[in-house]
Amino acid sequence: MSRLVLRGMLSLLAFWGAAAWAAPERFFDDFSYADNAAMQAKGWTPRNKAGHPGVEGATWSAAQFSLLDDPLSKGNRLLRLAASTDGSGAGTTQAQLCHARKYLEGTYAARIRFSDQPVAGIDGDPVIQTFYAVTPLKHDFDPEFSEMDWEYLPNGGWGSEKTRLYGIAWQTVQLNPWQAHNQQHEEFGSLDGWHQLMMQVAEGRVKLFLDGRQIATHGGRTYPVSPMSINFNLWFSPGGLLAKTEQPRRYEQDVDWVFHARNEVLSPAQVDAEVAKFRAAGVKQTDNVPAAKPALSSLCDF
């Protein structure tokens, strides 16, 4: 065998070996940033554009985010979202944060602290605390629209006073008049405190897990079909706000970490192990999930 042929074979074997041992495509963020500017430099976009969802006339503001030391875990940092309302549209400020629009199949997870009561003002407004992935809605009944939601309603809303967590997969929607095509699951009762939310997206099914327990499976028409951004938001349902008060009512939602494994189905235990591995290695943020082709903008306005 000639040296040239042997060299070619060795190069090919090296290539195959590198491909076989390529690093898994992961996105992980521990939100251990010094400030909001550092967070935005890593691909996070705070919303500042008015519009759906929430109270008409409300403001979306980057000032509604803060990064703080975790009081329960030394050395850990948290992302905090805040939203407030005095009962009027002009007196309502909501929060939304979005990462790149490049996520589709695989495993999504986040550790979130839900809050049943406001940190200021009277209780009772229909506040909605979320973790979700979404594609922009280009027009009513857009066939490329995709969305997967976790939505916690501690004070009820949308025609029911019951405290509940929604797990929702969307096919498409018309905003006005409202007409939605989705599948949803409801978990009733208080979830005040820390919880882990997870979605497995593969083989035409979206499986939902709450604190390691599978609670629902969605699929068929509601299976996502286009790349989505990963988002968190904190907002108020447009119906049911309490009467206007001099002191605004302020709610908070904390995020410890968020994780995505591209094109891989991981169990809750495997996600825990991945997060523990990152933390043990001192990795605060990593992102080797490739951009969509062609690259897509994350407008953070829906």
- The predicted structure's pLDDT at residue 17: 44
* DSSP letter (8 states) at residue 222: G
Closest CA to 111 of 185, 193, 233: 193
Rounded to 10 degrees, the C-alpha dihedral 91/97/98/99 comes to 160
Quickly tell me which residue has 């050395």 as its tokens: 75
For the 22-287 domain, the top CATH level (class) is: mainly beta
| pTM of the predicted structure, to 2 decimals | 0.92
Q: What are the 10-residue block averages of pLDDT along the chain, 302 residues in total?
A: 45 42 86 96 96 95 97 94 97 98 98 98 98 96 96 94 97 94 97 98 98 98 97 94 96 98 98 97 97 91 91
List C-alpha distances in Å: 220 to 48, 147, 151, 204: 34, 14, 21, 7
Residue (of 110, 108, 123, 81) closest to 249 by Cα position: 123
Report d(CA 9, CA 78) in Å as an integer.
50
Q: Where are the domains of the chain?
A: 22-287
Residue 75 β-bridge partners? none
CA angle 279, 285, 287 (to 5 degrees): 125
pLDDT at 201: 98
